[in-house]
């Protein structure tokens, strides 16, 4: 129930007590001070102006006070302009009441500023936290780099895709294939009539609709059909058949399947559209290798072979 209880606590108004305690400790630790005179002046102005829109805040009534300091956190001073910019960014969730806009926004501004200061202090004094932030930052940078020069480039660079396909055409070859119509019969039904009809027909694209019109109008569940061009060696049934014979009746999984085969399509090159997905995948791998290659040229790598050997021996013994 831990997660459910945490969720309830965070939604409860009393959770604000936790934040209040944290803020109070931060105020004491970071020598927080605020300009009471400016706060009182600003409160009435913001409460009147903010309902009209955030851009109105920079108008004539407040303009003379924009560069006045509003509060200080250790050595960092925050001006009225900083506070108004914070409101305009609207990056925080702030609950306000009618006619009372200033205090909720100022409280949130104060909390965020103190939290930023605490993060700075953690970065300076907490090695574990500093390493964690460094790991996240470098991970994001690496992701951005890979996304820009490898993943997205492979997906969107149509000229590069075609060039890679042309330069490596030998990789994209069809083995022998054959067009076929497969007719999987229901458990019961007039098998002989369907078979008699099929074995008198040659395969072409009109055969499937002709077959369905002949038999499925009266019995729509009599059979299922499947039509396509199949790689002979990749089809578990076709690779066992003599594909030079055009009609076959086969028992598959205790059911009867009729095959009508077309002419064998010899092995040959794939069209770009037929293998675009594989080209993009290979092009992506190519771009990744090029990136690593260029990084190796730009940044020399030196390996301490003695230390590498020592660690290797420790791993083997461990």
List CB contacts of 162: < 8 A, sequence separation 6 or more: 272
Q: How many CB atoms lie within 10 A of CB 272?
A: 14
Percent residues over pLDDT 70 in the chain = 98
Q: How far is CA 67 from CA 36, 84, 117, 183, in A?
A: 15, 11, 21, 82
The DSSP secondary structure of 35-73, one letter per residue, reads -HHHHHHHHHHHHHHGGG-GGGGGSTTTGGGTTSEEEEE
Point out the domain boundary residue: 125, 149, 164. 125
Q: Do 193 and 259 share a domain, yes or no?
A: yes
Percent residues over pLDDT 90 in the chain = 72
Tokens of 72: 């200080």
Residue 6 included in any domain: no
Q: Residue 15: what pLDDT?
A: 66
Q: Residue 5: what pLDDT?
A: 86
Q: Do 181 and 136 share a domain, yes or no?
A: no
List, for residues 263-313, the tens digit of each pLDDT value.
999 999 999 999 999 999 999 999 999 999 999 999 988 999 999 999 999
The percent helix, strand, coil of the chain (3-state, each to 5) is 60, 15, 25
Residue 5 included in any domain: no
User: What is the distance between the alpha carbons of residues 244 and 230, in angstroms, rounded to a whole number?
Assistant: 15
Distance spanning both ends of the chain, measured CA to CA: 40
User: What is the distance between the alpha carbons of residues 311 and 318, in angstroms, rounded to a whole number?
Assistant: 10
pLDDT at 183 over 90: yes
User: What is the distance between the alpha carbons of residues 260 and 207, in angstroms, rounded to a whole number?
Assistant: 9
Q: Do 148 and 108 share a domain, yes or no?
A: no
Q: Which residues form the domain of 100?
A: 15-125
Residue 226 included in any domain: yes
Residue 4 included in any domain: no
- Dmax of the chain from CA atoms? 100
List, for residues 209-258, the tens digit of each pLDDT value.
999 999 998 888 899 999 999 999 999 999 999 999 999 999 888 789 99
Q: Residue 51: what pLDDT?
A: 86
Q: Are 83 and 95 in contact (CB under 8 A)?
A: no
Q: Do 291 and 190 share a domain, yes or no?
A: no
Q: Do 46 and 29 share a domain, yes or no?
A: yes
Residue 9 included in any domain: no
User: What is the distance between the alpha carbons of residues 261 and 250, in angstroms, rounded to a whole number?
Assistant: 13
User: What is the distance between the alpha carbons of residues 306 and 289, in angstroms, rounded to a whole number?
Assistant: 28
DSSP 264: P
Q: Do 60 and 49 share a domain, yes or no?
A: yes
Q: Do 115 and 151 share a domain, yes or no?
A: no
pTM, entire model: 0.59
Q: How many CB atoms lie within 10 A of CB 114?
A: 21
State mean pLDDT over 59-65. Answer: 90
Point out the domain boundary residue: 251, 269, 287. 269
List, for residues 121-167, the tens digit of each pLDDT value.
988 889 999 999 999 999 999 999 999 999 999 999 999 999 999 99
Q: Do 304 and 265 share a domain, yes or no?
A: no
* Domain tally, the chain: 3
Q: Are 258 and 248 in contact (CB under 8 A)?
A: yes
DSSP 7: H
User: What is the distance between the alpha carbons of residues 279 and 159, in angstroms, rounded to a whole number?
Assistant: 12
pLDDT at 189 over 90: no
Q: Do 238 and 198 share a domain, yes or no?
A: yes
Which residue pairs, CB below 8 angstroms and at least 24 apart, start in 235-241? 238/178, 238/180
Q: Residue 14: what pLDDT?
A: 67
Q: Do 265 and 279 share a domain, yes or no?
A: no
Q: Do 257 and 292 share a domain, yes or no?
A: no
pLDDT at 188 over 80: no
Q: Do 204 and 163 share a domain, yes or no?
A: no
Lowest mean pLDDT among 20-29, 33-42, 76-85, 101-110: 20-29
């Amino acid at each position: 129930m831990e997660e459910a209880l945490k969720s309830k606590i965070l939604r409860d108004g009393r959770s604000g007590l936790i934040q209040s305690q944290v803020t109070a400790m931060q105020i004491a630790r970071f020598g927080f001070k605020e300009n009471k005179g400016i706060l009182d002046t600003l409160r009435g102005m913001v409460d009147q102006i903010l309902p009209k829109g955030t851009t109105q805040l920079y108008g004539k009534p407040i303009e003379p006070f924009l560069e006045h300091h509003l509060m200080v956190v250790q050595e960092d001073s925050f001006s009225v302009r900083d506070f108004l910019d914070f409101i305009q960014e609207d990056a925080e969730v702030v609950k306000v009441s009618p006619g009372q806009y200033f205090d909720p926004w100022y409280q949130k501004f104060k909390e965020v500023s103190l939290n930023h200061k605490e993060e700075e202090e953690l970065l300076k004094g907490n090695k574990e936290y500093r390493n964690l932030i460094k790991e996240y930052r470098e991970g994001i940078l690496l992701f951005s780099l890979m996304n820009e020069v490898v993943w997205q480039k492979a997906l969107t660079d149509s000229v590069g895709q075609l060039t890679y396909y042309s330069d490596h055409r030998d990789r994209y070859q069809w083995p022998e294939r054959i067009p076929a119509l497969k007719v999987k019969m229901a458990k019961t039904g007039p098998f002989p009539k369907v078979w008699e009809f099929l074995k008198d027909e040659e395969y072409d694209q009109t055969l499937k609709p002709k077959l369905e019109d002949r038999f499925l109008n009266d019995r729509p569940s009599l059979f299922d059909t499947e039509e396509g061009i199949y790689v002979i060696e990749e089809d578990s049934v076709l690779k066992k058949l003599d594909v030079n014979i055009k009609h076959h009746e086969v028992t598959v999984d205790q059911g009867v399947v009729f095959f009508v085969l077309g002419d064998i399509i010899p092995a040959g090159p794939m069209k770009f559209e037929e293998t675009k997905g594989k080209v993009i995948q290979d092009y992506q791998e190519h771009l990744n290798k090029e990136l690593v290659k260029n990084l190796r040229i730009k940044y020399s790598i030196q390996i301490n072979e003695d230390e590498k050997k020592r660690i290797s021996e420790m791993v083997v013994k461990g």
